[in-house]
Amino acid sequence: MRERLQEFLDHMEMVTSKELSDNEREAVFNDFMKQIQFFQNERLIHLIVTVTFAIIAIFTTLANYVLQSICVFVFLLAIYILLLFYIRHYFFLERGVQKLYLYYDKLVKNTYYSDDVKKKCSLV
């Protein structure tokens, strides 16, 4: 997913930096909206998984404190390592989706609003 998001961000950087015809812009916008939904869903799933692992880590920490077992400690260590990687990946997805919102603003700014609306909304 990391590579796919990075490739799409690079693609959108290239697309939004050049002039497009109305048909091209509409096709790009439609594809963009589908892709942003995919990445938002992926981000939501990873948020749920990350929060679940955080809750498991809290309960395992409490269990380790109460039981003081080496098995529980090893499990706790594994959970913390996984949690760190999940947090890292989640924040990558979050930053990527935030960048996609900026590309959305670029597409909308150049396409769908009249000049009067752009001025009123400070889009110019």
Backbone angles phi, psi at 12, to 5 degrees: -70, -35
- Report whether pLDDT(66) > 70: yes
- The answer to whether residues 79 and 53 touch, using CB atoms and an 8 Å cutoff, is yes
- The answer to whether residues 80 and 57 touch, using CB atoms and an 8 Å cutoff, is yes
pTM of the model: 0.77
**Least reliable range by pLDDT among 3-7, 115-119, 120-124:** 120-124
Average pLDDT, the chain: 88
Task: State CA 63 to chain mean position distance.
Answer: 33
Which pLDDT does position 115 carry in this prediction?
Answer: 59
Under the banding of pLDDT at 50, 70 and 90, the label for residue 59 is very high
Amino acid, single-letter form, for residue 66: V
C-alpha 89/C-alpha 91 separation (Å) is 5
C-alpha 50/C-alpha 87 separation (Å) is 6
- Report whether pLDDT(124) > 80: no
